[in-house]
Amino acid sequence: MIRSALLAALMLLPALMTEAAAQSPIVIKFSHVVAKDTPKGKAADKFKELAEVATKGKVKIEVYPNSTLYKDKEELEALQLGAVQMLAPSMAKFGPLGVKEFELFDLPYLFSDRTSLERVTNGQIGNDLFKKLEGKGLTGLAYWDNGFKVMASNRPMHVPTDMKGLKLRIQASKVLDEQMRALGANPQVMAFSEVYQALQTGVVDGVENVPSNLYTQKMHEVQKHLTVTNHGYIGYAVIVNKKFWDKLPPDVRTQLEGAMKQATAYANQIAQQENEAALEAIKKSGKTTVYQPTEAEKAEWRKTLLPVHKTVEDRIGKDLIAAAVRAASGK
């Protein structure tokens, strides 16, 4: 009796397993290194919300913010190994993936504003960069905006010569390395999650970043001075493991693409106001003195940093830099 019941249950097992497989959602792990309350953090959460609704629960997006799963370099490795499926690293971090051309976005003063940036990301150059990713087993889905960088340290920084000798944290980009050297500073590559402590303990003297990142990591609490240089840009490329993406059921992929399109519009719409609000909050905190350079000082920063476009020609490509400068200026 017991035996026959067991047998019957065993015979039912394959059917039960198929049903369970059909019901268990496809999981997309989306890892990132910034706080939830930033343009990227909010956009990732928005994508989760939209994607889960669009796929009617067939896909579950697990967002891991603030380096809770992986730090900068590890997350890229994890994506290639398939341990996570989706990332949105800043374009300064694509060198280790073998697509150093993304460092183009780190060139000082390449973009005068967001319109100028969009001419590059939404145009031929943005497209071509995504094509390069395909060869690395990755698919580029979207460009997400953040904003323009400021300088922070414990020293007033009005003109470029004020940066001399400072040890400054940078993202892993050769263009940023050259940029800091042009200022007479000592660049030090460091994962984003380690910066607050490095500033607090004096392992580095300062940092460049967008106000939304400085504020949400409380870096302004361990730095006395900030200068609104707007000398460069931080933005993201949302990338997925190509094998994973190509294997998705076509209807699911289309739904996810739709959700990504909407999340991208949202990301790019909130980025500027998030950074403006963060800069205001930093000023209000009274912990950091925020300095707006004069027109003459701004001209000095430009004059010191623009030669970097030439220094990095070998790495990024002379033609690509020229094309980006042309596209950014709308010519």
Chain positions contacting ligand LMR, by CB under 6 A? 33-34, 40, 90, 146, 171, 192, 209, 213, 234
- Least distance in angstroms from the C-beta of 9 to ligand LMR: 51
- Least distance in angstroms from the C-beta of 14 to ligand LMR: 45
For ligand LMR, which is the closer residue by CB, 55 or 213? 213
- Least distance in angstroms from the C-beta of 66 to ligand LMR: 10
For ligand LMR, which is the closer residue by CB, 43 or 321? 43
- Least distance in angstroms from the C-beta of 207 to ligand LMR: 8
For ligand LMR, which is the closer residue by CB, 71 or 253? 71
Nearest to 101 by CA among 132, 80, 146: 132
The CA–CA distances, whole Å, from 330 to 88, 250, 316, 320 equal 27, 37, 21, 15
For ligand LMR, which is the closer residue by CB, 33 or 142? 33
- Least distance in angstroms from the C-beta of 91 to ligand LMR: 9
The rounded distance, in Å, linking the Cα atoms of 248 and 255 is: 11
Tokens 């967001």: give the residue. Answer: 114
Kind plus residue range of the DSSP H or E element containing 228: none
- Least distance in angstroms from the C-beta of 170 to ligand LMR: 8
For ligand LMR, which is the closer residue by CB, 71 or 158? 71
For ligand LMR, which is the closer residue by CB, 148 or 192? 192
For ligand LMR, which is the closer residue by CB, 105 or 255? 105
Furthest-apart CA pair in the chain: how many Å?
94
**Cross-strand pairs, 90:** 236
Buried residues in 22-35 as b, exposed as e (16+ CB within 10 A)? eeeebebbbbbbbb
Helices (H), the chain: 2-23, 39-54, 72-81, 114-121, 124-134, 174-182, 195-201, 211-216, 242-247, 250-285, 295-305, 308-311, 313-316, 318-328
Ramachandran area for residue 218 (φ above 0: left; ψ -120 to 50: alpha; else beta) = left
Q: What is the sign, positive or negative, of the torsion defined by CA atoms of 117, 172, 150, 38?
A: positive
- Least distance in angstroms from the C-beta of 18 to ligand LMR: 41
Residue 187 has phi, psi (to 5 degrees) of -75, 145
The CA–CA distances, whole Å, from 41 to 52, 125, 139, 267 equal 17, 26, 20, 9
For ligand LMR, which is the closer residue by CB, 102 or 130? 102
- Least distance in angstroms from the C-beta of 146 to ligand LMR: 6
For ligand LMR, which is the closer residue by CB, 85 or 146? 146
User: Would you state the structure tokens that stand for residue 113, as one six-digit string?
Assistant: 């504003």
The rounded distance, in Å, linking the Cα atoms of 313 and 178 is: 11
DSSP three-state, residue 291 = strand
- Least distance in angstroms from the C-beta of 191 to ligand LMR: 7
